[in-house]
Structure formats: structure tokens, C-alpha cells
Structure 1
Amino acid sequence: MSDNDHILSIGRISGSRLHLQTMLDQVVKSAQEQLGADACALLLLDESKQILTLKSSHGLWRSAVDAVRLPRGKGVSWRIVREKKPAALPRAKDDPDFHFVPESGEEDYTSMLGVPIIEEDECIGVIYVQSKKETSYSDEDISRLEKISQQVAGAIKAAWDMDRIKEKARVYTKLNGSSRLINATNDIEEIVRITTNVASELIGAKVKAVWVADIDGKLKVKHFSESGSDPELLRPVCETVVTLATVSRETVNVADISADTRFEGLDIIAAVSVVCCPMIFEERVVGAIVLADRITESPNYFVAFTSEEIHILSAVAQTAAQAVDRARTHQQLEKALEKNEQNVRELSILFQLSMAMRRTLNLGDLLRVILSCVTVGRGLGFNRAILFLVDESAGLLQGTIGMGPDSAEHAGRIWNDLKEQPPEDLVPWLLDHDIFEVKNSQFNRLARSLKFPAAGGDESKIISKVISHKMAVNIEGAGDLDQSDMELRSAIGCERFAMAPLVVRDTALGAILVDNLYNSNPITNSDMELLTRFAAPAAWAIENMKLFEKWVAESEERLDLEKQMARVERMSTLGEVYAELAHELKNPLVSIGGFARRLISTSKNDKTSLKYASIIAGEVDRLETL
């Protein structure tokens, strides 16, 4: 074929509306034939002009097409792009810029002639021919290849742009479908799974890893594609590229980890390249996606990622960021709602328990109601409880009342009864029921027998915390117990229990001890918070009841004193009346008695007068002696 025929052929190719790949294949074949070369290849730049990708070849391995990617600055082709000048190399391997790619199949070729593909002063790629024998290319050879490049540059750029547009449309269609799946769930794990699947379909990578920030902004690994690998291996990656990407809020692309000395430890997950894209939604960093080593048709040949693929990853990351932020907000709202419901339940319980405590009329009933509140399922729901009160005169923490089943069978029977007859109104139910029959309970007798030093340095570590330091404690096992606590642990027969102080005016009145001996449920922080909240009004109820009973006792004593005073006053009044009466009677009696004794002395011969006078004198003497 003559040169004119080749020129016409190239013209027809550039003027036709061929698919990009078909056009490139025809251009490469025509250029190889026109220059009589053994091989011909054409490489195109990505959008950011960072990667040269082999798009078509004739004479190289077919698997090298789209697989061979040259990062910026690597190889003779990049020199051609940079200088926009041809390069004719009789012995290509001797050139300092030569970069051998084993996966291309070019090891059999010696010489190389390459020219830039320039459209409107913009270099969009390189076309070069190769020969197996050492060849010195003439100016005519260079001119022929430049003419081919010039003829097809416009058509290639137009087709290349169209191909990119079609690819973007395909990608966004895929992303639109995946976004519907992502937005259909509020499970962050599921969102991450869908995201990595989409990234795998759109961008083939050997390693995929996803970090998601928690509420405090700390990044945590949510996905690591290397099955069986410890996510801890990703620590160097997180501390380098992931940290840089999330802090700078920009994608970090390491096209060649061996040449980029900014980061260490990337070889843990990558052989060639790493790209990290931050997940950002409304100025908030919610995570990051990392891809390592773009896969090719050759199983063990990995390349860098093109700018188009990085843009796709950015779009995937943006979609995932919005979904993760939404899911996290949903979870926060659910937690807030759950916490609010829990607070309402706790306030309702505390209100009903307070009402029950306020309606008791003596300390014994109050203590029973308090422990009923602690052990009933609709209350705090602990298996057993002991209420201790401080005996200040003896310096002891005295067990006052214990409430709970005496055995596992007893516990099961009680709980079944409660399930069959759930109380509708907790307040009257607590006042009217003694479900554990406290007076006849072995556990109550055990509780009342417990005495521990409350002060003076001999108290156990736990009792010291509760009484002296007024702290609630949660003992989760024998490891939390000190040697000084063994007596308490042995007495109650349980290694996991909790105690909360009963505090009034910064003074500990006593403590409530609880455990879950029979169902072995752990005592959680939430349980401790509720127990501590309940202990406060319970302590005040006990203090008020003590004051009330003291007031009642003092009132009764005062009433007795008032009765005695009234009696004394009555007797005093009677005494005054008696004294006045005696005084009023004494004067006439003296006169009467005197006259009677005078009559006796003058009427010795008159027996009748003597008789009557003696009677009068005797009665007067009797009255005077009263």
C-alpha cells in the first residue's frame, strides 16, 4: 500500500464515527503497516493527566491493553508527553527513561519510535512503534508517524471524550441504583457492605478497606477485604494516608508506593498503588475508603488507579457518607428515644415508689415497702435485697430487714405467681402484699443477724466506701473483693452484688445491698443509676419516718405529762378547798368543843346533860383530827 493509500486510510478512520476501541485498533494497525514495524501501541492520558494507559496495541500481549498504566514521570512515553517531541531510540533499553513492563510482552523488541498525540496544543497521548531488530529511525519515519498522530488526534479526542461521558453515565446509573439500596437501610454494617460491593464492581481493587468515625470522631475499621487478616494490620495505613485524607479532606492518591516516600507501611496492603478517599457529608468527616492495587487480567499484575476511577470512588464515598451520616443520626435518635423512654419509666417507678413510701405509717412497713420496691419486677427487679441501718451508739452497720426468695424453687414460684397476677397499680399492691413473707423468711433472719463495723478502721473496704465515703459500689466478681470483704461475701453467699448508701444531709443512715443470685443477671450501670436514684428518696423517707415516730413518742409522753399535771392541779385545788373548809370549821369547833367541855365539868350531877355534852365533845375531837 502506497503512502497516499495509508493517508487516505487514516483519513477515513478519523472521519468515521467509530467506537473508540475500534478506531484505536485500526489506527495502530495502519501505523504499524505504514512504518513496517513489528509492533505498535497507543497510550492515552487520564483526565487529570497523571496516568498513561495502554488503550490499543498490535504486536504486544492483548492482556496488556487497559492493564499497562504508567504513573506520571515513569517511562519514555512520559518524556514524550512532557516535551511534546518525538523520541527515536535504536536501543530503547539503553535510554535512562526506559521503563520495562514485563506484562506488556515488549521484551522481544529493541527499537522504539514514539510521537505525541496533540490536539489544540494539548497532549492527549502517545503512539509508538517498535522493532525487534535494532533500527535507526529516519526523519521520514518520524514524519510519517507524526502525520498519523495529527490526522487522528481530533477524532481520538472526540471519541475519548464521548467514551468518558458514556462511562460516567454508566457509573452514575449504577450509583443511582446502589444509592437506593444504601438509603433503604439504617444499618451501618450493611451500608459499608453495599458500598464495598459497588466499589468492587466499578473499580477492581485487590484490597478494600473502610473506616467509619464514631460519635467522638475516632475512626474504626468497618471492613477489610483480606479475609482472616487482623484489622490491626491497617494501623499504619490509618495513621498515614487515612489520617491525611480525613484531615485535609482531600483524596490521597499514591500511584507508586515504591517511589512515594511520604508514607510508610503501605506495603502491608499494596504492591503498587493506594488511593484513599474521605467520606464527607455537610462538612463532617464520617469515614474513609481505601483501595489498593488496581487489578488487571493478569492475576499478579497490579497497576495504579486512573483519575476517572478516583472520581468514581469519590462519588461512591459521597453516597456512602450521606447514608452513614443518616444512619448514625437515626441510631442517635433511637438511642435518645430509648433513653427518654427509660427515663420516663424510671421516673414513673420512682414516683410510684415514693407514693408507696409516703403512705406507710410505721418504720417497719416502710422498710418492707422499700425492699419490695427494690425486688419487685415492676420496680427495680433485683433478686434479693438487704437494708442496713447504722447504729451510731454501737458503731455498727446492722442488718434490719432482708427480702428475697429462700431458694431457687421459691424464686421460681414467686416469679410465676407475679406473671399470672401482674399488679395493675404498683402503689396499693406494694402496700398490701408481702410476697416474700418477710417475718417468716430465712433470708430475713439471715439479714437481721448481720453486723459489721461501720467506722473505726475495722470496716471492710466495701462498707468503708459505702458508709464512710458515701459511694455506691458494684462488685462484679471475686476480683473486686478485698480480704476485708470476705466476711460480707461469705454472709450473703454471692460474689456479684451492689450496695448503695442511704444518705441524708451528708450523713449515711445505712445502705441497701442487692444481688441477682438466682437469675445471674449482671448488674449494669443503668441498674446502678436507678438504684442510686431510688436510694435518695428512700433515705429521706426513713429519716422522716424516724422523725415522725420520734414526734409521735414525744407527743404521747407530752400527753401523759399533761394528764398528770391536770390531776395534780385538781388535787391542789381540792387541798386548798379542804384547807379553807378546815379553817372555817376549826374556829366554831374550838368554841363548840370549849362549851361542851365546860358543860361536862359543870354537869356532873345532871347525867342527861353530861351525856349530850360528852357526845358533842367527842365529835368535835374527831373533826379536829381530820
Structure 2
Amino acid sequence: MTTTATKKRINRARILDKVIRIVNSRIRHEKKLQHILKTVAGELGLEEGFLFLLDKGQDLLVLQVAGDRIENWTGEQAYKLGEGMIGRAGSERKFLSGSLKAEAQPTHVGDPAKRIIAMPVSDDSFLYGAMVFVNSGTKRLTGAQIDLLKAVSLELGGIIQDFRMTVEAKRRVMELNALFEVSKAMSSTMNLEALVGNLVSICARLVSARWAELSITDQANEIVAGATFGKKIADTHPSVCVSLGLGNDFCGDLCAADKISWQDGTNVPFDEEDRRLLHSVGSFVSSALDKSIMFKEVESLARNNAIMVQTLSSLYNISSNMMTTVDFEELIDIILKSMIHSEGLGFDRCALLLLDERSRTLRLHKCFSRVERSPEPVTENRAESQSCEHEPPVQDIQIDFVHESGAPAQCLSERRPINVIDPGDAFFNPQGPLQSFLEFPFAAVPLLAKDKDIGVILVDHALKRRPVSEDELKNLCMLVYQAGLALENSRLYGFIDHVNRELKEAKEKLIESEKMAALGEIAAGIAHEIRNPLVTIGGFARRASGIVSPESDLKRYIDFIVAGVARLENTLKDVLNFSQDAVGGFKYFDLNVVINEALDHLRLDLQENDIQVEKDLVPSPKVFGDSRQIRHVYFNLFLNAIQAMESGGLLKIKTFYSTESGRTYITSVVEDLGGGIPVGILHNIFNPFFTTKARGSGLGLAIVHKIVTRHQGDISVDNVPGKGVSFIIKFPVYASA
């Protein structure tokens, strides 16, 4: 008896020793449970052992481990607590045994000779499952064996508890690491996109999900920021979502799906712990996301403000530069160059079409395009920046100012900008001379000055091959508005300057006329006073010359008196001609005839001085005036030319029609090669009694100037010292001519 008891104790000790060795081994806990079941069944002579683990969520005991193969179990795969022998063993926490047939599935008949032994796996506080052994009908367990099974069940409970504590500890460590990473991500950047990307990957690892998504939307349901981690395998897999507590203007959602089991890597549903954890993380990161959103908005406002400041600064610089000139063409150059300048509006090409009110057409006036190197700043010297800008040859392109001519005409007629995205749209860019020029997306902006239509400005991004943005169009409209005012000021300045010049010329002519009139009256009075005694002296001197003998010395003296009197008579004649202001007898005459008559009077002088005459006369130019006075004008000019070319030369005479300030003139040019007029006396040549000749009266050019002025004409001088001088005479052409 003693020997038998000793053997039983030795067997029990050996079994527990094996169990403890298995418990302390380094194999996985599933293998530990499997080896223990197999070892105990073998040592106690039982067929096979199985382990049912408790699913707390559903109060089920689910078959998880078998000593050999799970497929060998012929009963149900799960038992509800309190139902069946296995369920009652778990709920009542006591040892139960019975027939296997009672626990078998309906499809299995079960072996009535076989019995099962069910024992709870638990400790003082928790139920972990039920340990079940299949036994042959003849095998009976002793009390010692049952006590051994109870001890083994405690070891199994310890293994399960240790494993769960290890898993929980690892999970807590992972959660702490994830929270640390969340904190680190929150403190490492204020960039919203980067923060969202970091957070979504951390949250996916936190709940062991293959897929996660974080999205933030505004009140209009537009996505402000979002990021996705992994790839969603199937929509049927369980998912979990939590809302983020962001500000009133934004909503956020954090979702995860495809949770991976710690034990075997399979997909398992999310539990309340996962939801609580995601909710905690969501609450934790909401403030950081709020700050990041605010930072992004502030950053966006700062960028927009910087762009606005840069734009306003550029517009200010351009406006300031436009104030440096009132010249129309120079102003257009400044405006167009500022549109293609990198520090201006930055377009690639720009063109100006001016409106011709008379023909009602838009004509291409000037265009510029960007070159590889950016032009110098628009505030720099304009001459230096010319080399950096390309001004293509301006073709004679014009379109009718009608709605059917496309966007340029439409924008001016409707007085609104037009942004053409598709240059192939025939409505905005129909076939015509401008179609090839507008081959890229472009914008057309009307150029207005108050209520006056000036033209159209066209811009595009030909190099970048992109449309004009709305912000660029707004900036362009602001510049074009300023440009319209500047061009109107230029036009008004030009008009005022023209009027001032006309007034100044009229004033000078009036002063000259009054001076000449006063001088003429004085000269006429003096001439009349001198003429009477001079006629007497001349008459007696000529008579005496005929009486005195030619051999007498007195004859020579008398001839000196006669010659002097003749010179005085010619001078008096010039003075009287200068003082006359007759306009009676004006009629239309052929200017060519008058010029040829003046040449005929001087033909002998021309021949004697070996002077060639070259004529280029327009056919039958009609002038309204006194042909006798006009003949005297050309006679004096030809005579001056002959006197200037005493050693021979060439006298050129040319007539042609010209237009100035909208008025038509018949213009004549008398050119000689007599060496020109000294620059120092050029301003005095039309003054009366000014002469550099020993025998001149100084009234020749003064009389010429007066006659031309009397005929509403103009005379000017083109002097080339050392070569010659040209007198340009203009007579107005009247409609009745």
C-alpha cells in the first residue's frame, strides 16, 4: 500500500514537473497549452485534451487549442456559459464529467462508450475557459488524478493570464510609444499636411489597422487637409471612426479599418478599447490640428498679403514711372514693357491695338514679348532696358471694330475684360489677321480714358503655355485703368502744348508784324522825304553828265554822283516795297510759272557765274496770292544764291505737297552750295537792314519773310555751314484751288 501511494506521488510529481518545464519554456503560449494538454492526456491515459477559451463579449467558451488536432473534436465549437456540460463547468466553476454523446454535434452520433471530463480554467478572480479531456468509457479518474487536473488547470490559467498581461503590456507600451510619437509629431511641425500625414500613420499602428484615414473639411464640405495610410482591402471588414473636436468652421474624422490580430495576424473586429483609444488620441490631437489650421490660414494670409504688397509695389513703381513722361509713344513703351517684366505683371507677350475713330478699326500699334533674360527693372533707365526686350516688327494688322471681330472688339465695345481660355473658340478668335497672333490663351482689356475709347491691350503666357489667371487679370485691369488716365493726360498735354506753340507763334508774328508795320511807316516817311530832293539831284546830275565833255575831269565826278543816286533810288524802292502791305489782287496762280519767270530774269547772271539749275517741280501747284510779290520772293532767293556761288555751283529748286497738323501745303525748297550762313548771324537774316554785303540794303530777306507771312505761309532755313543753305517756303492749299 505504501509502495502504491509512493508511486502515485512520484507519477504526480513527474507530471507536474513536465508541466512546469513546459510553462517555463520559451515556446509560444499556444504551443505551451498544446504540449500541456498532450502531456497530461498521455500521462493519465486519456485520449486527447482540448481547451475552450472564454469570449467575454459574447459569454461563449470557444474551442481554441487541442493536444493533437482540433478536428478530432466532434462536439460543438463553442458553448454558451451555463449551457451543456462544458458551459456549466465554466459557469459553475466545478469538475464535471459525462457522456460525449450529449455534447456531440447533431451530425455526429457520438460514441456512447466515451466520456468527457470538463474542468474550469480559472483563478480566484477570473474565468479563462474550460479544459476538456476525452476518456474511454471504462476509464475512471481517481481523486488524486482529479486534483492533478485541477493543478494543471491553474497552470493553464497562469499561462493564459501571463500571456494576456504580456499582450496588454506590449499594447500599453505601444500605445505610450504612439502617444509619444503623436506628441513629437505635434511639436515637430506646424505644417498641416505634414502633421495630418504623421498622425494618420501613428493612429493606424496604435490600433493595429492596415488602413487609416484622417480628413478635415470646411463648412462648404471642401477638403482642407487629408491623408491615408495603407490600402483598404475590403469594405466588408470592420472599421471604426471618431470625430475630431475642431473649431466651428471645420469638421474632422479619423477612421481605421482592417484590424490585425496580435495572435495570428488575421482580421478581427475593433473593440471598445480601440474606440476609446482612437477617441482619446482624437481629442489629444484636435487642439494641435486647430493650431495647425490656424497657422495655415495665417500663413496663407501672409502669402496673400505679400503677393498683394508686391503687386501694389509694382503698380506703384509703374505708375511712378508713367509720371516721368508725357510723350505718348514713350508712355506706351513704359506701359507695355511693365506688363512683360518679371518685376511687373510677368506676362510673356503684350500688344496694343489703337482705335481709329474715322475708319472704326482696331490697328496693331505696338507689341512686346519676353526674351530669355528678364528685362531690367522698369524703374531703371529705359535706354538700358531696351536690349533686354524684344519688339517684333509691327505688321499692318487691323480688324473692324464690330462684335464679330472677336474678343478685342467685344471687350472694347462692352467695356469689360475678356479672358479667353480656348483660343480656338471662333466666337472670341474668329478667322482673320489676328488669329495667328492669338494662338495661345489670352486676355483682352479695354483701354479707356474717362468716356473715350482708346484701344485694347492683349496679353498672354505664350512661353508658359497657360491661361491668364483671375488675379493676374485683376492686376492687369488696375494697371490699364492707370494707363488710360496717363495716356489721356498725355493727349491733353500734347493738345495744350500744341495750342501754346500756336499762340506763341501767333504772338511772335503779331509782334513782328507790328514791328514791321511801324518800321515800314517810318521807312516810307523817310523815303518820301528823301525821294523828292534825290530825284532833283539825280536829274540835274544826269543832265550835267550829258553836257560836260567826256574828257573833262568833271565828267568823272558827275558820273560818281549819278551812280550814287541810282543806288539810293534802288534802296528807296526796296524800302517802299517793304513798307507796302497790299493784299489786293490776290488770285490763284501756278507757282511753277512764277518760279520760272524769276529764273528768266536772272538767266544771264546764272550763265555768267557758271551756275547750273536743277528743277524738280510738282505739276501745276496752285497758290492763292499776288504773283508779282511771290515772284519777288523767289527773285531775291535766287539772287542771294547767285551771289553766294560766284565761282559756280548748283542751284536746286523743288516743289511738292506736304501735310502738317492736318493741313495741306505746297512746299518749295531753294538750295544752293554757297557755303552756308555763319551760325552766329543766322538768327538775324530776316531782320530789316541787316546785311553782310558791301552793296546790300539788308531788306531782301526781310521783304521775302514779310511777303510769305502776308500770304499765310511759312519760311524756314536749313543751314549746313561749309556746304550750303536751303530755304523752305510753305504756302497753304485752299479747297477752292
TM-score, with structure 2 as normaliser: 0.50
Contact in 2 for aligned 1:110/1:134 (Cα 8 Å): yes
After superposition, the Cα gap between the structure-2 partners of 1:287 and 1:125, relative to the gap in structure 1 and judged at 3 Å, is same
Unaligned runs of 5+ in 1: 14-18, 63-73, 97-108, 227-233, 235-267, 406-410, 575-626
RMSD: 5.8
Task: Provide the residue aligned with 1:209 in structure 2.
Answer: 212
Aligned length: 475
Q: Structure 1 residue 347: deviation in Å?
A: 0.8
Q: CA 1:25/1:437 → structure 2, altered by over 3 Å: closer, same or farther? A: closer
**2:183 pairs with 172, 179, 191, which one?**
179
Q: After superposition, what is the alpha-carbon deviation per residue over 1:58-116, rounded to whole angstroms, capped at 9, x for unaligned?
A: 53779xxxxxxxxxxx95347879999569985556489xxxxxxxxxxxx99796879
Aligned-partner residue type, residue 305 of structure 1: F
Q: Deviations over 1:301-320 (max 9, x none)?
A: 43223333444444555566
Does residue 1:289 correspond to 2:255, yes or no? yes
* 8 Å CA contact 1:45, 1:124 repeated in 2: no
Instruction: Give the direction of change, closer, same or farther, for the CA distance of 1:377–1:151 in structure 2 (3 Å limit).
Output: closer
Instruction: Say whether the 8 Å CA contact 2:47–2:136 is kept in structure 1.
Output: no
Q: Which amino acid aligns with 2:184?
A: R
Query: Which aligned pairs between 1:408-557 and structure 2 lie closer than 5 A?
Result: 411-412=371-372, 415=373, 418=375, 422-423=376-377, 426-430=378-382, 432-433=383-384, 435=386, 442-443=392-393, 445-446=394-395, 449-455=396-402, 457-460=403-406, 462-482=407-427, 484-487=429-432, 489-492=434-437, 494-505=439-450, 508-518=453-463, 520=465, 523-554=468-499
Identical counterparts, % of pairs:
17
Opposite residue 286 of structure 1, the aligned amino acid is G
Note the alpha carbon deviations across 1:242-291, whole angstroms, 9 max, x for none.
Answer: xxxxxxxxxxxxxxxxxxxxxxxxxx715542223444446753342322
**Contact 2:419–2:444, Cα closer than 8 Å, also in 1:** yes
**CA displacement, residues 333-390 of structure 1 (integer Å, 9 cap, x when unaligned):** 3332222211111111000111111221222221121112112232223333212233
Counterpart amino acid of residue 387 in structure 1: L
Distance 1:345 1:367 in 2: 23
The CA distance in 1 between the partners of 2:171 and 2:259, in whole Å, is: 21
- Please give the residue correspondences for 1:345-360 in structure 2 after superposition, counting only pairs within 5 Å: 345-360=310-325
**Counterpart-to-counterpart distance in 2, 1:338 and 1:535:** 25
Q: 1:468 to 1:52 in 2, by over 3 A?
A: farther
Paired residues of 2:200 and 2:214 also in contact (CA < 8 A): no
Q: Could you say what secondary structure the match of 1:533 adopts?
A: helix
1:41 aligned residue (48, 51, 56): 51
Q: Deviations over 1:38-70 (max 9, x none)?
A: 434353556xx47979798453779xxxxxxxx
8 Å Cα contact 1:91-1:110 kept in structure 2: no
Give the alignment of 1:110-509 within 5 angstroms: 126-127=129-130, 129=132, 131=134, 164=168, 167-177=171-181, 179-181=183-185, 183-186=187-190, 190-191=194-195, 194-195=198-199, 197-199=201-203, 201-205=205-209, 207-214=210-217, 217-219=221-223, 222-223=227-228, 225-226=230-231, 269-270=234-235, 272-281=237-246, 285-295=251-261, 298=264, 301-317=266-282, 324-404=289-369, 411-412=371-372, 415=373, 418=375, 422-423=376-377, 426-430=378-382, 432-433=383-384, 435=386, 442-443=392-393, 445-446=394-395, 449-455=396-402, 457-460=403-406, 462-482=407-427, 484-487=429-432, 489-492=434-437, 494-505=439-450, 508-509=453-454
Q: How many angstroms apart in 2 are the aligned matches of 1:336 and 1:307? A: 42
The 3 A distance-change label for structure 1 pair 41 and 441 is closer
Distance in 2 separating the partners of 1:518 and 1:166: 60
Amino acid paired to 2:473: M
- Higher alpha-carbon deviation: 327-336 or 149-158: 149-158
Tell me, in whole angstroms, the C-alpha distance in 1 between the residues paired with 2:384 and 2:363.
25
Contact preservation (8 Å) 2:128, 2:160: no
Alpha-carbon shift at residue 535 of structure 1 (Å) = 1.7
Contact kept? 1:85, 1:116, Cα under 8 Å? no
> Which of 59, 64, 72 pairs up with 2:67?
59
Check the 8 A contact 1:32/1:40 in 2, yes or no.
no
Question: What corresponds to 2:536 in structure 1?
Answer: none
Distance 1:452 1:185 in 2: 58
Assess, with a 3 A threshold, how the Cα gap between structure 1 residues 280 and 111 changes in structure 2: closer, same or farther: farther
How far is 1:541 from its partner? 1.8
Deviation per residue, 1:105-140 (Å, 9 max, x gap) = xxxx997968797988xx8764353648899xx9x9
How far apart, in 1, do the equivalents of 2:414 and 2:263 lie? 71
- Change over 3 Å in CA distance of 1:29–1:540 after alignment to 2: same
Q: Which runs of 5+ in 2 are unaligned?
A: 1-7, 21-25, 71-76, 108-113, 519-737
| Equivalent-residue separation in structure 1 for 2:115 and 2:452 (angstroms) | 96
Query: 1:536 offset after TM fit, Å?
Result: 2.0
Contact 1:204 1:294 in 2 (8 A): yes
Task: Provide the C-alpha distance between the structure 2 equivalents of 1:50 and 1:326, rounded to a whole number of angstroms.
Answer: 43
Please list the CA deviations of residues 216-267 of structure 1 after superposition, one character each: whole Å capped at 9, or x if unmatched. Answer: 54457632523xxxxxxx7xxxxxxxxxxxxxxxxxxxxxxxxxxxxxxxxx
Evaluate the alpha carbon distance shift between residue 542 and residue 307 of structure 1 in structure 2; reply closer, same or farther with a 3 A threshold. Answer: same
Aligned 8 A contact 1:116 1:125 in 2 = yes
Q: Write the letter of the residue equivalent to 2:397.
A: L
SS at match of 1:510: strand
Q: CA deviation at 1:542?
A: 2.0
Q: Distance in 1 between matches of 2:118 and 2:327?
A: 108
- Asked if the contact 1:270–1:292 (Cα under 8 Å) also holds between the matched residues in 2, the reply is no
CA distance in 1, matches of 2:120, 2:297: 60
CA distance in 2, matches of 1:170, 1:43: 25
What's the CA shift for 1:178? 5.1
Distance in 1 separating the partners of 2:131 and 2:341: 87
AA at the equivalent of 2:336: L
Q: Distance in 2 between matches of 1:176 and 1:276?
A: 22
Match 1:76 to one of 68, 79, 87: 79
What secondary structure does 2:379 align onto?
helix
TM-score normalised by the chain length of structure 1: 0.57
The 3-state SS of whatever aligns with 1:399 is: strand
Match of 1:514, SS? Answer: strand
Aligned counterparts of 2:168 and 2:135: Cα–Cα separation in 1:
35
Q: Which amino acid aligns with 2:386?
A: I
Contact 1:403 1:436 in 2 (8 A): no
